[in-house]
Amino acid sequence: MASSSERDVEKGIPRSATITSSDDEKGSVLQDSQEPYPTDASECVTAEEIESEHDTMPIEPVRSRASRVSRVSVKSRLSRVASLASTVLRRKKERLARAPLPVSDLDNGIVGWEGQDDPKMPLNFPKFRKWLIVSFLSLITFVTPFASSILAPGITTMSKEFGTSNLTYASMPVSIFLLGYAVGPLFLAPLSELYGRHPVLSLSNAFFAVWQIGCALSPSLDSLIVFRFLSGIGGSACMTLGGGVVADLFPVDERGLALSVWTIGPLVGPCIGPLVGAWIAYTIGWRWVFWVSLIPAVIVTVVIGVFSTETYHQVIISKKVRRLRKELGREDLRSCYADPSKPPPPMKEVILQGLCRPLKMLILNPLILLLSTYIAFAYAVLYLLFNTIPMVFEGQYGWSVGLTGLVYLPLGLGFCAGLAVFASLSDKTVVKMTRANDGVYEPEMRLPACIFFACFLPITFFVYGWSTYNKVHVAVPLIGLIPYGFGLVGIWQPIQAYIIDSYPVYAASGMAAFTVLRSLVAAFLPLAGPKMYDTMGLGWGNSLLGFICIAMIPVPAFIYKFGGKLRKKWALNL
């Protein structure tokens, strides 16, 4: 028979039973404890964890034969094991504590998760599986913004083919795509919260891909505008649901990095699109930009449909409830996420509530409205630059259509630099501030970085505007575009994370509210770009945008300071 000390080594060291030293103590003292072993597996440090911490000292069962191992050597070995276990525990405590999962209690008719380590719970998915899902999501979220801007450099040649000299009208196929981005989330987000992220995302991706064919074969400018609008509706799903999927998979203290990876697509995609589109329009014709967009759209749509899975917690449990009702013949079973004090509403009412929820969050919550307005302006100006860069560099520097595609690269470099900085600091900052707040996390802890990044936005407009106006060496306006990319990603990410963390259950609806206003403004503000530059010139026209950016810097600072109180004051009944 193995002694209790030997079983500790073989089965894992219970925290309450064997380690009595605090985190601040360098050593670990083992005492014989009469406390029972914890039943929760998360309360144990396993031999595998300890071996991974100290590969040079594999854990072997301690034999109780006195002739081979003395009592002193056993205590010495256990002391070393406990010291390593203490190190593992300290590292585990660096993460924020996760709220306990609601578990099944069939005696009381409640269907939930099968324990805290239920492998079907998305938060418990293996890391490889989580990051695989995020990678698929990031790919499609790259393809649709890529398609949104790929036509921009070909506007001139397209307008000649369709026989229009009205530059504002010719720019509509670019802007109308973003209007589809604004309309789609209003019904795609609530549908995902009713039927799941996976089916809505897969069908929307297919819808987006089909209309690329329609755009490529458009017989007129009017038909192209209609097809681009429909394509934008389908392409909005990944932008709307992506934040919700990340919230489903990752706890708060790991969410910042995951959001950064997912956001690579919507930020870098619009910069790569014009670069590719310029050379396509210049060499083989503007219609080919849609065939080029179709190929990756089809591939990624198939991959997501086949290899991805449902992640929305409420929908997973709802499916489990329906299955158990059928298997056990118990109609009294209900989801652990359902309100027991209220009878289940009829499906018509559920759908209506879901459709109204994004607008309700946007209109009735001034915090979301204020932050969404800030992002809407910053995002719209990005597309204003996309639409006017060909005009500026062809007119001021005599560049060809193909060469102007290179102008979008500095924005992409700024995006990548901003993502790298945000990803490295965001989650660490949240953990540090939460500890300083007695372990209580507040969504406003995402916003301090936003204030820093916001200061970079106006730099671009003063440098880019006046250098192009005075025809300074082309390197100056190109370098001047980098701060905007750096600053935009730095305000986008914290605001997006703030909305998701404030309403994790309705993250998709929160992102829909965030996306609707942003896309609506981005659809129409860029149309004013040519007229603004004609009236005010490149110098003062861009300076006006810079002054507006300066005026908006206090927005995240205000919400960081007072957001906690105002969020409770304006709590929404969703």
Domains of the chain plus CATH, in order, are 4-92 (no CATH), 122-569 (1.20.1250.20)
Per-residue pLDDT in tens (0 to 9) along the chain, 574 residues: 444 444 444 444 443 333 333 344 333 333 333 334 344 444 444 444 444 444 444 444 444 444 444 454 545 555 555 554 454 444 444 556 677 888 888 888 899 999 889 999 999 999 999 999 999 999 999 999 899 888 888 888 888 888 877 777 888 888 889 889 888 888 888 888 888 999 999 999 999 999 999 999 999 999 999 999 999 999 999 888 888 899 899 988 788 788 888 888 877 888 888 888 888 888 888 899 999 999 999 999 999 988 889 999 999 999 999 999 999 888 888 898 887 777 766 767 777 777 788 888 888 888 888 888 999 899 888 888 877 887 788 888 888 777 777 888 898 889 888 888 887 777 778 888 888 888 888 888 888 888 889 999 999 999 999 999 988 898 999 999 999 999 998 898 888 888 888 887 777 778 788 888 888 888 888 878 878 888 898 899 999 999 999 999 999 889 888 888 888 777 766 6
Instruction: State how far the alpha carbon of 276 is from the alpha carbons of 49, 61, 154, in Å.
Output: 48, 62, 11
Q: Is 553 helix (H, G, I), strand (E, B) or coil?
A: coil
Nearest to 246, CA basis, from 105, 84, 122, 74: 122
| Token output for 506 | 């309705």
H-assigned helices in 250-312: 252-283, 288-307
**Backbone φ, ψ for residue 242 (5° rounding):** -60, -45
Q: What share of the chain is helix, strand, coil (3-state, %, to 5)?
A: 75, 0, 25
Q: CA 3 to CA 268: how far, in whole Å?
A: 60
Contacts of 79 (CB under 8 A, 6+ apart): 28, 30
Asked if residues 280 and 154 have their Cβ atoms less than 8 Å apart, the reply is: yes
Is the Cβ–Cβ distance between 493 and 426 less than 8 Å? yes
The two structure tokens encoding residue 468: 């192009």
Interval 109-151: pLDDT, tens? 899 999 889 999 999 999 999 999 999 999 999 999 899 888 8
Helices of type H across 12-70: 15-18, 47-53
pLDDT digits (tens, 9 = 90+) for 528-542: 887 888 889 889 999
Count of residues in the chain = 574
The model's pLDDT over 49-108, given as tens digits with 9 standing for 90+, comes to 444 444 444 444 444 444 444 454 545 555 555 554 454 444 444 556 677 888 888 888
What residues does 105 pair with on adjacent strands?
110
- Give CA–CA dist 122/134, Å, rounded: 12
| Cα separation values, 550 from 115, 386, 453, 455, 457, Å | 50, 21, 12, 7, 8
Calpha distance 146→144 (Å, rounded): 5
